[in-house]
Amino acid sequence: MANESAAFQHIKNKARLLKREAFVLYFAYKDQRVAWYAKLFAICVVAYAFSPIDFIPDFIPILGYLDDIILVPLGVWLALKLIPDEVVKDCRAKAEELLSKGKPKNWLMGILFICIWAVFGLWITLYLYNRLLL
């Protein structure tokens, strides 16, 4: 029983750290010292991490959670490698400050992410329609 509790606590700590790193990427996206390609990759990772839409739906047994367990941490890790260390350090401080104040809510960013996914979905649909039916 104690092992299960320790394992659960470990997973909870990793999830909290991953959430903080997603906010680090969000702040890095807004930083002028970050290259455009790193910003683009970072905002895509943040959008995917906070989006309710997954490449592999969660209702598919085992595979559904692989994207959350593998893709998101891998994306965060790669994005952080593209961002200069001093920017990451500054953004981590901002993320810690933001998270210490409580759970942030940014409806504008939420709407932006939904619009990005909608445009992406429309683009894929049109692409597949043109390739497969025309």
Q: Which residue has the higher pLDDT, 7 or 124?
A: 124
pLDDT tens string 72-101? 889 999 999 999 999 999 999 999 888 888
10 pLDDT tier (thresholds 50, 70, 90): confident
pLDDT tens string 23-65? 899 999 999 999 999 999 999 888 888 777 777 776 777 777 7
| pTM exceeds 0.85 for this model | no
Cα separation, 26 vs 1, in Å, equals 38
